[in-house]
């Protein structure tokens, strides 16, 4: 588990391509998760959360950057584990409004649906300064999460970090690659100091590094 900023933690899975689960500690009784990682990582991630916070029942909301299984695969186990502690637990499952229909379709077998959708620049919850930034292209309803108090941007799959290198997700895994390239620089319109790419071990990248990445992407076809 890595503390990225005050009350913002990353809980990592075991594999090289594993997607970390971000945990935001809203207060001592409430946690928000961002993504749930791979199915095979779910148990070890849950164990780490339980060790640190004592009870999984504190998880009140799970926000998804997008629907891909490396980000959503652990959801069923997580809900099950939360409900085994409190059968009346109600966990909000949240994604962007444009992602919802694909989420339902692609995760049909898991019978999991978002219970709430967000619009561009909408806050995740009242009194919680985390804003959804619609950054379409990787998927149509892909969002990045801006943690305003910490000036931190969680990038989701807008940029990956594998073996020490920043890179885009492979072209074939994008819903709309052109849109992706076009929407990426718009993330600079927001007030953040560090951004966190997805996959592998979480790191913080500066705006300068982000700008360099965009420059490189512009040259890419």
Residues that bind Zn ion (CB under 5 A): 68, 157
Instruction: Kindly tell me which of 99 and 150 has the beta carbon lying closer to Zn ion.
Output: 99
- Report the nearest approach of Zn ion to the CB of residue 85 (Å): 30
Instruction: Kindly tell me which of 90 and 182 has the beta carbon lying closer to Zn ion.
Output: 182
- Report the nearest approach of Zn ion to the CB of residue 174 (Å): 8
Which of 44, 105, 30 lies closest to 69, judged by CA? 105
- Report the nearest approach of Zn ion to the CB of residue 17 (Å): 11
* Alpha carbon distance 49, 45 (integer Å): 6
Instruction: Kindly tell me which of 53 and 102 has the beta carbon lying closer to Zn ion.
Output: 102
- Report the nearest approach of Zn ion to the CB of residue 173 (Å): 6
- Residues contacting 201, CB < 8 A, separation 6+: 2, 12, 20, 161
- Report the nearest approach of Zn ion to the CB of residue 65 (Å): 8
Instruction: Kindly tell me which of 79 and 156 has the beta carbon lying closer to Zn ion.
Output: 156
Rg of the chain taking only CA atoms, in angstroms: 16
Instruction: Kindly tell me which of 61 and 68 has the beta carbon lying closer to Zn ion.
Output: 68
Question: What residues are paired with 198 via a beta bridge?
Answer: 160
Instruction: Give the 3-state secondary structure of residue 169.
Output: coil
Which of 183, 156, 132 lies closest to 71, judged by CA? 156
N- to C-terminal Cα distance for the chain? 37
């Amino acid at each position: 588990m890595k503390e990225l900023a005050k009350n913002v933690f990353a809980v990592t899975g075991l594999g090289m391509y594993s997607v970390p689960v971000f945990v935001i500690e809203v207060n001592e009784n409430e946690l928000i998760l961002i993504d749930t990682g791979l199915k095979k990582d779910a148990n070890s991630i849950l164990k780490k959360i339980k060790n640190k916070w004592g009870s999984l029942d504190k998880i009140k909301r799970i926000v998804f950057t997008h629907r891909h299984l490396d980000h959503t695969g652990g959801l069923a186990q997580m809900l099950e584990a939360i409900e085994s502690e409190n059968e009346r637990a109600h966990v909000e499952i949240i994604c962007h409004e444009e992602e919802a229909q694909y989420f339902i379709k692609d995760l049909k077998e898991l019978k999991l649906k978002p219970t709430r959708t967000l619009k561009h620049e909408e806050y995740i919850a009242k009194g919680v300064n985390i804003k959804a930034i619609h950054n379409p292209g990787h998927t149509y309803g892909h969002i990045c999460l801006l943690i305003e108090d910490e000036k931190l941007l969680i990038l989701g799959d807008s940029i990956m970090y594998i073996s020490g290198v920043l890179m885009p997700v492979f072209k074939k895994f994008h819903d709309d690659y052109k849109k992706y390239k076009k929407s990426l620089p718009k993330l600079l319109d927001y007030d953040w100091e560090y951004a966190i790419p997805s996959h592998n071990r979480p790191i913080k990248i500066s705006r300068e590094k982000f700008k360099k990445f965009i420059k490189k992407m512009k040259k890419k076809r």
